Each structure stands twice: as structure tokens, then as C-alpha cells.
Amino acid sequence: MKHESSPPLLHHHLRYSSRRISSLAKPVVYFLCLLLAYSLGYLSSSTRNNNNNINNDKLPPAVHVNAVVCRTANTVISSGFTEADHNNFGAVCGEAVPPQDVRSKIMERVFKGTSPWENFPPPHVDNFLRKKWVKGWGSKGAVFENLIRRVRPKTIIEVGTFLGASALHMVDLTRKLGLDDTQIICIDDFRGWPGFSDHPRMKDMKMVNGDVLLMYQFMQNVVQANATESVVYMPFSSGSALEKLCEWGVFGELIEVDAGHDFHSAWSDINRAFKLLKPGSEGGVIFGHDYFTAADNRGVRRAVNLFARVYNLTVQIDGQHWVFHIANRL
């Protein structure tokens, strides 16, 4: 029977081999994992090319993405996430509110039906406001008149209002062109940006309990311009305000995008603004400032150019502004 049992040497060999296999298994699994990661990275980058018609020739390879895929592969696969989701801001908004009802819709939904200018200014800020203080950047560029003459909008949406320089310029233009019923919806969180009041042009801004009073000074400027009936505002982040307008069916024919100037802010604002042009043949115009600004790694310009590529549009330039004429939003 002795001969049936394995010789000690063979035992030792088998034990050694299985230890070797298990110690080999780790690198093999690791290699397979890397292979899977590489394939996923390759597949996702080709999907992106097909779906969005973006020319990725100049984009760096997604190597850093592969490095984390091993740990997250299951999540990625089971959530069905694709890079096309980055461009998907949803397309369906509520049924269109007629232009003559846009103002009352916003007054109802944002201000419970009472004009925010009633009993303005409130006592706690009264002493801090200037009679009129309007400052902006490129806020009176020729583009405003060119576009308002051409589009003759009933509803203008401005994303990024600050003290109201560009909005009030548009009020002047609509009056001059006899567009007396045009409403301008101003969207701004009225916070500026961290530290903005250190800017030499803003250093005189007063602060009450940490509030820089931008909204109140904007309201005061609107009062001074006798424009409280032409302007309505939404003091919220651009993302939440634009999404609500979409949900409520408030569309515009002319939309200015001039809020956050980093790539991601500009990208999401432009995409959300696009949804607020009425679908169908009416079309409209989206435009904005700072196409040429060097700050933020030219975030606005990158976002505008990417949008043009995704939707096959031409970027037109008017002074410092970029402009998209959209003839037919499907």
C-alpha cells in the first residue's frame, strides 16, 4: 500500500506548487483587472466619440480613469453610467406659459404673489444703500442692441445680474425700440464671489451681518431706473433657478449667460439656458460675455466651444461676447 500514497517528495512538490499558484494568482488577477480596466476605458472613450460627435483627438488619454476602475468597476457597470450623461441636462420642460403671464408666474412662485418692491427698502439696509450704484463688465456692449433689434424678445432671461448694469441697459433698449411689454428675468444669487468686495471697484460695499447687500442695491437701482414693472428677479443659484423656469414652462427668446466663469459653471448654465429656448421653429439666441477672458483657463470659451461642437453650432463673436443663433431647437 505504501506505493499508493504519494512520496514525501511529491507531497512537498504539490504543497510548494499550490503555494506557488496562489502566490502567482494575485499578479494574474491583478493583470486581469488591469486588462478589464483598460478595455472599459477604451470602450467608454469610443462611446463618447460616437454619441456626441466631439472630436477627442486633442483630449489626453483617460489613463487616470483606468487606475480607479478596478475598485469601482461593479458600480460603473451596474449604474449604467456613460460619459454621455455629462451632456444630458434633460430636454423636456413644462407647457409654455404665454409671455404676458411670465411675470405673474414668477411673482406667484417666487414671491407668493407680493411684489418684492413693496415697502422697499427694508429699514435694516436703508442707511447702507446708495441712491444709484450700477457697475458691470461689458454691460453696454453693442451686442445688446444688435440682438434686441434683431430678436425683438418678449422675454429676456439674464443669468448673472450683479448690480443690474446689463439688465438695466436692456430695459433702456427695449423702451427705445418700443418693446414696452418685454420682461427681463434676472437670475443671481446676489452673493458675488468670495472676497469680491476686496476688488478696488467694490471696496466701498457695505456689509450687514455678512450680507454684501448686492440684492438690495440691485433692487434700488431698478427703482431708480423706474423699471420695477419690466424686471423680475430670482435670487437663487443659476442651476436651481433655470431648472425651475424649465419646470414652470417659462421660456425666453433672448438669454444672456454671465454668471460663474469657470468651465463647469458656464457649461451647465449654457446647457440649462438652451432648454429655455422654446422647442420648435421659433428658436432664439443665447449669448454671453468673456469669451476672450484669460482667467479660469478660459473656462467660458472652453464651455462655449464644447457646446458648439456637441450641437453642431457656429460661435459668432460680437465684441467681447459670444453668440449662438439657434434657428430650430428640436
Ligand X SMILES: C[S@@+](CC[C@H](N)C(=O)[O-])C[C@H]1O[C@@H](n2cnc3c(N)ncnc32)[C@H](O)[C@@H]1O
Nearest to ligand X of 37, 148 (CB atom): 148
Does the footprint of ligand X cover residue 260 (CB under 6 A)? yes
**Residue range at the interface with ligand X (CB under 6 A); choices 3-11, 112-120, 252-260, 309-317:** 252-260
Out of 161, 182, 183, 220, the only residue in the binding site for ligand X (CB under 6 A) is 161
Is residue 329 within 8 A of residue 280, CB to CB? The reply is: yes
> For 78-115, what is the HEC assignment?
HHCCCHHHHHCCCCCCCCCCCHHHHHHHHHHHHHCCCC
- By beta-carbon distance, which residue lies closest to ligand X? 136
Using left for φ > 0, alpha for ψ between -120 and 50, and beta otherwise, residue 100 falls in alpha
What are the two backbone dihedrals, phi and then psi, of residue 41, each rounded to the nearest 5 degrees? -60, -45
Nearest to ligand X of 15, 191 (CB atom): 191
Does the footprint of ligand X cover residue 124 (CB under 6 A)? no
Residues binding ligand X: number (CB under 6 A): 19
Give the closest residue to 235 by CA, choosing from 138, 126, 106, 147.
106
Site for ligand X in 181-220 (CB under 6 A): 188-192
What are the two backbone dihedrals, phi and then psi, of residue 211, each rounded to the nearest 5 degrees? -95, 125
Is residue 276 within 8 A of residue 243, CB to CB? The reply is: no
Please report how close the Cβ of residue 120 comes to ligand X at its closest, in angstroms. 19
Out of 160, 252, 284, 299, the only residue in the binding site for ligand X (CB under 6 A) is 160
Out of 259, 270, 286, 303, the only residue in the binding site for ligand X (CB under 6 A) is 259
Nearest to ligand X of 179, 241 (CB atom): 241
